[in-house]
Structure 1
């Protein structure tokens, strides 16, 4: 069984729908669905708009009405086969009389998996794995979280050319340029948790939110989490609205991630100080790094990362440079490095 050009075009459209900007992040994956008639023309489309809302398949079926009978459903993720806040999409597709289902990524969640088999048992043709790699990219953090039972962790830091994240007097605003700070907010918005340590709250008292190009807080804010055993003032700015804030009374990165995963969170943006960064690195719990390197020197002050216990060059933590780019111009320019863990043997 193979896909038709119309089904491939529909999958590209479904992937675009799944990645629709502005959809609140949450415990559910991003999913798009396109319904096709026998002649390959589009009947309806839909996408998941956040936890508690109709799934993509149901949204498309609702739009199609009776026209869904005999149609082909092109979906970015294997239709779910369980009841959560909404009913199983498999049952909705069967009830609507869909003839064929083409999907991209198999559902890695054992609770929701099994949709393909259930559809086939109902006599519906199923084609799996179409543009699966692209679909995994759309749900990169969600897929990782389900497969590893913990959130994906992105560590961001800004540093001078000599590796300093703050001056000798503790000041750190602003090492990176204006354009780099705007870039940071764009990337923060892709996460559902912003995590710092108690030290950062006590020293910097940050708002730690996501702001738009006008420097105003966006409508849907990630959860702001403060990790550590020290007490922080209840009137700290990190607890201000909009959005929610959470205290994690632990210094253990694994325990913090366990609590966040239990709360349905998938992607942690780590932006604490050098001590917190070192703890996550030593625990092997950093999955991606954004390093903003400014063309400046301090000569003294806090390092970007704390003591990792490394005493010889052979034990260095080596990372793979995924991409590099310059943000801003002139003295305001900053180099952004995107890094991922080096693969074994490299």
Structure 2
């Protein structure tokens, strides 16, 4: 199963509506017969890829899979059918499929006489597909809000300049995180003022082959020369100010992880709507004393009502003048409200 998880985590696989899945086929002695992984929407699922490599050797084998084999026909056929047709004797999977459309594989396999076990390294499998799992269980994309701020909470100086609050190591780290999402989101104000490309680029500023969807939220009309409207990635304009409506539209498009890089107004709207699931803050050891705040008005008038965050990780990036501290956090529920389950 650990090998199957490593296969599932293979770099370069485009993200989107489907999870990362790995599969290892074992013979009766426990030796590896074949391996497979899912390489993106429309390509063979991990089980099918492994079965094709194994050929007739799949008969009587054990399939070790990171996710419950699917039981529906989408762009490809059901993995359950492929496993049964190949004569697989036993299936061990880590995580039950939270997708009601695809679930039911375990039951069908058992009914067909296949021995089934599950739950092995389930926590690790859920962590691998944390955004996909969250989206299927909560019916909306997982939202990571990223911000870069000075030590006194400013995202830009009084004259509007913000280069560079984030250091080069922080910017490279940001592109790494962008590449783990399938949506880059900003508001129309950010597009007009900053004119970002919103693409994922490597260490020499070259765009990667697979780009997230660029989503621009708001009612303002955009100038046609804005970079986000270029052909280097797909862009969708979400004509709404309602975070729930924006996320619903993205979920219907099969998008599972939003990387929110908008300005203080959009950030405040998503925080106020309770749909920020993770916060990644790059804090620069600088003081401005005035300038644009990193987040807009949250309606907080007393310390008891502050939005509180749990710190999961603190990492120092760079050194000297090129230093940022990255804090990875998750919002804590307000007193008296149930905690939100996050993979």
Q: TM-score higher than 0.5 here?
A: yes
- Pairing 1:240-255 to 2, within 5 Å after superposition: 240-255=230-245
Q: Which runs of 5+ in 1 are unaligned?
A: 1-10
| Matched length | 336
Q: Deviations over 1:308-333 (max 9, x none)?
A: 00101110111101110110001210
Which residue of 136, 149, 159 corresponds with 1:159? Answer: 149
Q: Does 1:179 align with 2:169?
A: yes
Q: Which runs of 5+ in 2 are unaligned?
A: none
Q: Which range moved further: 161-170 or 274-283?
A: 161-170
Paired position in structure 2 for 1:232: 222
Q: Deviations over 1:160-216 (max 9, x none)?
A: 011100111112121111111111101110000000000000101111111101111
Q: Deviations over 1:92-117 (max 9, x none)?
A: 10010000000000000111001001
Q: Deviations over 1:32-89 (max 9, x none)?
A: 0000000000000000000000000000000001000000000000000011111100
Q: Does 1:109 align with 2:124?
A: no
Task: Give 1:344 shift.
Answer: 6.5
Which residue of 261, 269, 274 corresponds with 2:259? Answer: 269
Q: Distance in 2 between matches of 1:168 and 1:33?
A: 54
Q: Distance in 2 between matches of 1:220 and 1:240?
A: 15
Paired position in structure 1 for 2:43: 53
Q: Does 1:126 align with 2:116?
A: yes
Which residue of 6, 13, 20 corresponds with 2:10? Answer: 20
Q: Does 1:305 align with 2:295?
A: yes
Where 1:39 maps in the other structure, the secondary structure is coil
Q: Does 1:325 align with 2:325?
A: no
Q: Distance in 1 between matches of 2:252 and 2:133?
A: 15
Which residue of 186, 191, 200 corresponds with 1:196? Answer: 186
Paired position in structure 1 for 2:83: 93
Where 1:165 maps in the other structure, the secondary structure is strand
Paired position in structure 2 for 1:5: none
Q: What's the TM-score, normalizing by structure 1?
A: 0.96
Where 1:64 maps in the other structure, the secondary structure is helix
